[in-house]
Amino acid sequence: DYTPPSAKDLASRLLYTCYMGTANSTDATRGRSRALAGEVGAFHLDANMDAVISALTELFVSVVGKRPAFRAHGGTDPRENLALQNIQARLRMVFGYMLAQLLPWSRGRRGGLLVLGTANVDEALRGYYTKYDCSAADINPIGSICKEDLK
């Protein structure tokens, strides 16, 4: 039988977090993610999503023959910018579910995990979210809370 010696020990077994950054992410947000996980005792990972984003972009280029670009990098159509932003968000969702299925296995534990969402009610009411991104989750603890109340 296992009896956790502390709340943090229990959290390290039940709560897994992952910062899914890109080249555009800041050290400040990465640090806040790591610090918050440390405060609650979560098992924390840091993933760079650039390779998977690049791979999907290259697949698109090989199929369609055109390379989308962010406006800041020479893109001329707003749809390019939006598509590239959305694919980053959607790939985070896909990777989150992969982690939920395989992290327990990778740590020698049974079962799977639930994915927590991070979309707030204002995003849902305004339609300001990407379909199948952080709004696609098993549980969304802040889904009924206004953004202002979260601050």
Residue 42 and residue 8: Cα distance in Å, rounded? 7
- Distance from C-alpha of 46 to C-alpha of 123, rounded to nearest angstrom: 26
Is residue 16 classed as helix, strand or coil in its secondary structure?
strand
First-residue to last-residue Cα distance in the chain? 40
Tell me the pLDDT tens digit for each residue of 9-52. Answer: 999 989 999 999 999 899 999 999 999 999 999 999 999 999 99
pTM over 0.85: yes
For residue 115, which of 91, 130, 98 has the smallest C-alpha distance?
98
Please give the pLDDT value at position 132: 84
Sign of CA dihedral 15, 109, 94, 46: positive
| Cα–Cα distance for residue pair 48/43, rounded to 1 Å | 17
